[in-house]
Amino acid sequence: MDRRHYLIKDASLELLVRRKTKISDDGIRGKKFEIFCEIFLRKRNGAKESAEIHRELEVPFSSRKGWNIRKSNEEPATPIPSYPKRVLFRWSSEPAGRRRLSYPRARTMRGLWAAHWRSLGRKILHSSSSSSSSSTLSSNLKLLGPNLPDVWMMPSSSSSAFRSQSSANGQTANVINGKSIARAIREGVASEICRMKETIVKSPGLAIVLVGGRRDSQTFIRVKLKACEEVGITTYVEELSEESTEDEVLRVVSRLNNNPSVNGIIVQLPLPQHVDEERIINFVSPEKDVDGFHPLNMGNLAMKGREPLFIPCAPKSCIELLLRCGVEIMGKRAVVVGRSKIVGLPTSLLLQRHHATVSTVHSFTKNPEQITSEADIVIADVGIPNLICGSWLKPGAVVVDMGTNQVQDPGVDQGVRITGDVCFEEAIKVVSAITPVPGGVGPVTIAMLLSNTLDSAKRAFGFI
């Protein structure tokens, strides 16, 4: 009886393996798999009692009364709650498109999407056991906080990341230089791509899907294309007319999903009103979702102990700025102003991963000024120019302004200037550090897109 055909589930063993081996979740699954296959074979071939076999293998025997894990000369550990008896799972011999788990009362998924998710799950589990997968996820593990196996070590703050500016009352605030941080990240990405080209003669590929002719979307795409060209990422642009149907967009995304030269796919938002954004985003392969918006990536980000394939670029840049500037997050009060699925929500999840006490302020929040004024870290992204003024901020707080707004200003050449959600002139008199707009989060967000694309290519090519 081949052990590879069996997959066993047991919660008490997972707790023991975590305590004894301190290995990752994927390692726990592999260890659990081997141990329970051994238990099954020993019981089948020898007629020993379950408790005796468990003692030989030094794993707990889960009875209905629970089981205590203890070492010699130690107090008994907290009893592990009892669980139902182990259930043996076995893959059926059906074709891949109809393959399903053969266990009692199985909740089977039907159709092509079910086959896609199952095959994706197997590919993720397979890739996670290889050294190349662990190397491509290492940067994400750092940003996901110290609750994961790879505990992030706080880097020493770089003097080039700060630019001091004195306010009228003499207080000196640090203006976080996002351009210098982005430059350092892009240099690292370019170096890795050069090494990839020399070693395996391959380079990452990024595809951008643009539907319609919005001027702001075209501007954002030009910035991304220029950044990709500088570091050596091959780009593909798919331009569709404003009148394109939803099915036409899906066909383009499907073609890019199946193109091995494309390692990352971006659907430039917003889409025309007649196109369902959620459906398009969900159709992008999670393995190429370098924006990090796919439900699989967002769900893994929300669940403690899980590792998403990609972290959304803007929230990732926010945390990267804080970490590189030596800002302590653990135990601090953080307020995220805005709860969008692109920035606000994933930023809150990342801050929780770093053990901050996080509050979210939105349009229905009562006394937002009072809540924000108690925060050690303030993250703003609501799209309202100068919404957060100096009275909203706690003296010495750190502010990351992720808003980008166009304000009419006849005094500038083009008649429009870019400003953030925080009134910079007032905040600089109160806070200890702040990101400017422009020149703060924006350049780092582009750098994180390049980093995600590189990670995707490494995972696809098996490049270490």
CATH number at residue 397: 3.40.50.720
Percent of the chain with pLDDT over 90: 55
Active site residue 224: yes
Question: How many domains would you assign to the chain?
Answer: 3
20 & 169 share domain: no
315 & 294 share domain: no
Active site residue 458: no
CATH code where residue 215 lies = 3.40.50.10860
What mean pLDDT do residues 348-363 have? 94
Backbone angles phi, psi at 295, to 5 degrees: -55, -30
- Higher local confidence (pLDDT), 344 or 411: 344
pLDDT exceeds cutoff 70 at 151: no
Q: Which domain holds residue 8?
A: 3-133
248 & 318 share domain: no
pLDDT at 105: 36
32, 224, 288, 332: the catalytic one is 224
Query: In 3-state terms, what secondary structure has residue 263?
Result: coil
Beta strands in 150-293 (DSSP E): 162-166, 172-176, 205-211, 234-240, 264-267
Active site residue 291: yes
- Higher local confidence (pLDDT), 80 or 452: 452
How many angstroms separate the CA atoms of 264 and 285, rounded?
9
pLDDT at 414: 77
291, 376, 401, 421: the catalytic one is 291
Query: What single letter denotes the amino acid at residue 87?
Result: V
What mean pLDDT do residues 302-324 have? 93
What mean pLDDT do residues 264-284 have? 94
pLDDT at 213: 87
How many angstroms separate the CA atoms of 97 and 10, rounded?
28
Query: In 3-state terms, what secondary structure has residue 155?
Result: coil
pLDDT exceeds cutoff 60 at 99: no
8 C-beta neighbours (distance < 10 Å), count: 18
How many angstroms separate the CA atoms of 328 and 409, rounded?
37
69 & 218 share domain: no
10, 268, 289, 401: the catalytic one is 268
Structural tokens at position 459: 């995972």
pLDDT exceeds cutoff 80 at 294: yes
Q: Which of 298, 328, 345 is the last residue of a domain?
A: 298
- The pLDDT confidence band at residue 449, using thresholds 50, 70 and 90, is very high
340 & 416 share domain: yes
Within-domain flag for 67: yes
- The pLDDT confidence band at residue 455, using thresholds 50, 70 and 90, is very high
439 & 365 share domain: yes
pLDDT exceeds cutoff 70 at 106: no
Within-domain flag for 282: yes
